[in-house]
Amino acid sequence: MNIGLISDTHGLLRPEAVEALRGCELIVHAGDIGAPEVLDGLRALAPVVAVRGNNDGDAWAQAVPETRTFAAGPLRLHLLHDLKLLDLDPRAAQIAAVVSGHSHRPRIYVRDGVSYINPGSAGPRRFSLPVSLALAEIDGGAIRARIVELL
């Protein structure tokens, strides 16, 4: 299963992001979506699982949850915007990966057998941080992710 991970679009769905996500079977948005049109554009590519971020305060975003735990193939993933607000023990909850955004800094690491993935920001460039997203592959009981710089 191929999954696209995106965050912090802040209302901008770049053509480069759309192209990078083409062919994904699921797209996961880790918040600060910015506009409902971003979700519509992603849904044109694949089913979307999303959470709202600290900047998603408009009325349309109230229907988007702040956190979600969901199945991706045989694995359970937990999605939230700000990793500092994680309020569960992923390992005890049998979560294979935690996906978050907020910092605009792409990062992938494993702690206690759980993958932590921040795809970075695919929206407007912030400071000197890269514009990026992540692609993940679930194969059997494992998830492998990599950062894709868009610009």
Gap between the Cα atoms of 134 and 117, Å rounded: 8
Paired tokens of 77: 């993933």
Domain residues of the chain, as ranges? Answer: 2-149
Paired tokens of 63: 């229907």
Distances (CA, A) of 113 to 12, 129, 142: 34, 28, 10
Q: pTM for the full model?
A: 0.97
Q: Which amino acid is at 123?
A: G
Paired tokens of 37: 């049109």
Q: Are 54 and 101 in contact (CB under 8 A)?
A: no
Of 3.30.465.10, 3.40.1010.10, 1.10.3720.10, 3.60.21.10, the CATH number of 2-149 is 3.60.21.10
pLDDT digits (tens, 9 = 90+) for 13-65: 999 999 999 999 999 999 999 999 999 999 999 999 999 999 999 999 999 99
